[in-house]
Chains A and B, each alone.
Chain A
Amino acid sequence: MKARFEKYISYPIGLIIALSIFSATLLAMGFNPILSLEALIKGSFGTVFRASEIFVKVAPLLLTALAFLIAFKARFLNFGAEGQLYIGALCAYLAASQMGGLPSILSVPLVVLASFAGGVAWLAIPLVLKVKLAINEIFPTIVLNFTAILLVNWLVTGPIMDPNALIPQTRAIPRETWLPIMIPKTRLHVGLIFAFFLAFLIYLILQKTVLGYDIRAVGLGPRAAKHGGIDFSRNTIIVGILSGGLAGLAGMIEVLGVNHLMIMGFSPGFGYQGIAIAALGRFDPIGVLPASIFWSILLIGGRSMERATPPVPIHMIHVLQAVLVLSVLIVQEFLTVRRQK
């Protein structure tokens, strides 16, 4: 009971710390923190459209968080979700743009496969280096993030740019491949359901299958797992494929569900935010659900803060998010260590 209580107490404490720092900073900068918070809450729940925007953002955030946590569970640190997301989106775009005239029931699954494969392909080098040469995966994955973004920038400003567009972007993909909208007059598309379904699927894999048992065993004690006869390479390859694929799917969701084309810098760091969300959700596939929703509320509310007078730059929200996760982790660790003493 006490452990259970301590498990959750870190969230309100963390939130209080984060909000205090947030308010103090705004106050010092000459803003009114009360008005800013009011704008944040009204801005995220004020209208149906805004509330729906929260869930539009949840889909990619949830997928990148899942991508990080499934690999993290098996001690594989995939910091490359951002790059895999860009390549997944690119593959989704390239596949979708060839599918004009094909019925959605055929084209969408093919596009989904393409983006999954794209994400996996972008993780392939770090994965092979890890499995074959035991090279730490953090730096190859991060380097490939920069490379992927530059690659997409090059493609959308040159080879696949729409010649009639004024800004660097591609032509729109055929309408048949657009994900259906769930609530009229919003941008909320069925990709959200897909993301929720995948979260549940990852939960099932982790908790109810032999594979999940192996993954968790490696995460909890690699030595014991090795003695228990778990094949490390196989395990790492499987979580790598799942992780890269999920990040690729996050890119697909943005192309098919929201933008319907490729554009420079379409991801505001979803890949990196996924890592923070995974940490906030205790690396648990169900825990990242509320974490990603809360994260998204802050992002959407932050946009209204930016429109308020005087405008508070959205980056204050990023500061708030970082402080929040950091405080929650610090409180959790503090309580765990104290209990063990």
Chain B
Amino acid sequence: MIEILTLILSSSVILAVPILFSAIGETYDQRAGVINLGLDAIMSLSAFVALMVCFSTGSYLMGTLAAISVGGLVALIHGFACVTIGINQIISGLLLFTLANGIADFLNTYLSGYKVFLAPLKAINIPGLSQIPVLGPILFQQNIFVYLAFLFAIVFGFVLYKTTWGLKIRGVGENPEACDAAGINVNRIRYLCLILGGVMAGFGGAFLSLGYLGLYGSGIASGRGWIAIIVVILSSWSPYRAILGSLIFGLGYSIAANLIGIGIGVPSYILQMLPYITALIVIIFMFKRTKGPSALAVPYRRK
């Protein structure tokens, strides 16, 4: 029993990672006033790119770098459409979703002759800590992506709340006119946050293919990008609380995956609904009390 629990908890930490990466990036997006609904597809595309580049160069680092570059580039399109031109961010995000998924599926079919499998990145055991019973395997026997995600979440939180940069980002999302009057370049900050959001979704995608599965399948993100945006709102736009939020969903995915593995007689499709039902419950009970950045999804133009 204790083994199963350890397994479920340990994989919920792992499964929280792609959500956490994307959620903290999206937190910055939305704090600056831009919503990016293309996250899910950016994750899929960068997962594919990570796998292919890693396979051809033999370097996990190169794979990850390629993935985050692609993530940033796709986000740049969203930036041009919504920040520079100012089209509806919701519609643009959805088109970005179609676009990035289309590119990923196109490349995947085009290169379908190459069936790429890699060994997922090995876990790094933290000396001493990893020997603690139960807690050790859950928290301190994971691969580098897992440690990075949680580290990033803390750094992002610190920057957002304790530095001038963070203040500017929050200001731009709350009152762009005032920021502009104070000499802050509103759209530049929005662009930077968007690129950062894309880069983080790229990390999430790279984790899926390089750090977790070791392969790629069409639509690999399978809704994790959408879940990440829900986590952003659930954690009321705080990178710290996003850790907790993504762990909740990590647990949902983990219970589903492990129960499917054990085979308890509940059909796998029903179990796969678990994260989405969790999401719905979270929305019903938590979203009422949240209030987002005031200028969210409103393009800024100088009068």
Partner-B contacts on A (CB < 8 A): 29, 77, 79, 125, 129, 133-136, 138-140, 142-144, 146-147, 150-151, 153-154, 157-158, 272-273, 275-276, 279, 313, 315-319, 321-323, 325-326, 329-330, 332-334, 337
Q: Contact size class for B?
A: 35 or more
B residues less than 8 Å from A129 (CB atoms)? 283-284
Asked if residues A313 and B110 are in contact (CB atoms below 8 Å), the reply is yes
Interface CB pairs A-B, < 8 A, 21? A29-B110, A125-B280, A133-B284, A133-B287, A135-B287, A135-B288, A138-B90, A147-B276, A151-B269, A153-B269, A272-B98, A276-B98, A313-B109, A318-B98, A318-B102, A318-B105, A322-B98, A322-B102, A326-B99, A329-B87, A330-B85
Tell me, rounded to whole Å, the shortest Cβ–Cβ distance linking B163 to chain A: 30
B residues less than 8 Å from A154 (CB atoms)? 267, 269-270
Asked if residues B273 and A150 are in contact (CB atoms below 8 Å), the reply is yes
Tell me, rounded to whole Å, the shortest Cβ–Cβ distance linking B100 to chain A: 9
Asked if residues B288 and A146 are in contact (CB atoms below 8 Å), the reply is no
Tell me, rounded to whole Å, the shortest Cβ–Cβ distance linking A152 to chain B: 9
Beyond A135-B287, A144-B280, A316-B106, whether A333 also contacts B94 by CB under 8 A is no
Asked if residues A135 and B270 are in contact (CB atoms below 8 Å), the reply is no
B86: Cβ under 8 A from any A Cβ: yes
Complex CA gap A166/B92 in Å reads 41
Tell me, rounded to whole Å, the shortest Cβ–Cβ distance linking A287 to chain B: 15
Complex CA gap A143/B103 in Å reads 24
B279: Cβ under 8 A from any A Cβ: yes
B185: Cβ under 8 A from any A Cβ: no
Tell me, rounded to whole Å, the shortest Cβ–Cβ distance linking A29 to chain B: 6
Tell me, rounded to whole Å, the shortest Cβ–Cβ distance linking B242 to chain A: 16
Asked if residues B109 and A147 are in contact (CB atoms below 8 Å), the reply is no
Asked if residues A313 and B283 are in contact (CB atoms below 8 Å), the reply is no
B272: Cβ under 8 A from any A Cβ: yes
Complex CA gap A319/B301 in Å reads 29
Complex CA gap A323/B98 in Å reads 9
Complex CA gap A255/B110 in Å reads 32
A residues less than 8 Å from B226 (CB atoms)? 139, 142-143, 146
A residues less than 8 Å from B283 (CB atoms)? 129, 135, 139-140, 143
B277: Cβ under 8 A from any A Cβ: yes
Complex CA gap A150/B97 in Å reads 20
Complex CA gap A329/B84 in Å reads 13
Tell me, rounded to whole Å, the shortest Cβ–Cβ distance linking A270 to chain B: 13
Asked if residues B95 and A319 are in contact (CB atoms below 8 Å), the reply is no
Beyond A279-B91, A333-B87, whether A135 also contacts B284 by CB under 8 A is yes
Asked if residues B91 and A329 are in contact (CB atoms below 8 Å), the reply is yes
B81: Cβ under 8 A from any A Cβ: yes
Asked if residues A330 and B301 are in contact (CB atoms below 8 Å), the reply is no
Asked if residues A313 and B105 are in contact (CB atoms below 8 Å), the reply is yes
Q: List 6 extra interface pairs beyond A138-B37, A326-B92, A337-B85, CB under 8 A.
A: A125-B280, A153-B269, A157-B269, A318-B99, A329-B92, A332-B87
Q: Which of B81, B101, B102 contacts A330 (CB 8 A)?
A: B81
Beyond A135-B288, A276-B95, A334-B85, whether A143 also contacts B105 by CB under 8 A is no
Tell me, rounded to whole Å, the shortest Cβ–Cβ distance linking A17 to chain B: 12
Task: Output the nearest chain A residue to B110 by Cβ-Cβ distance.
Answer: A313
Asked if residues B287 and A151 are in contact (CB atoms below 8 Å), the reply is no
Complex CA gap A273/B94 in Å reads 10
B137: Cβ under 8 A from any A Cβ: no
B residues less than 8 Å from A134 (CB atoms)? 288
Asked if residues B98 and A321 are in contact (CB atoms below 8 Å), the reply is yes
Asked if residues B269 and A139 are in contact (CB atoms below 8 Å), the reply is no
Beyond A147-B273, A154-B270, A313-B109, whether A140 also contacts B280 by CB under 8 A is yes
Tell me, rounded to whole Å, the shortest Cβ–Cβ distance linking B88 to chain A: 7
Complex CA gap A79/B99 in Å reads 17
Asked if residues B87 and A139 are in contact (CB atoms below 8 Å), the reply is no
* B 106-135 to A, binary, CB cutoff 8 A, 1 in contact else 0: 100110000000000000000000000000
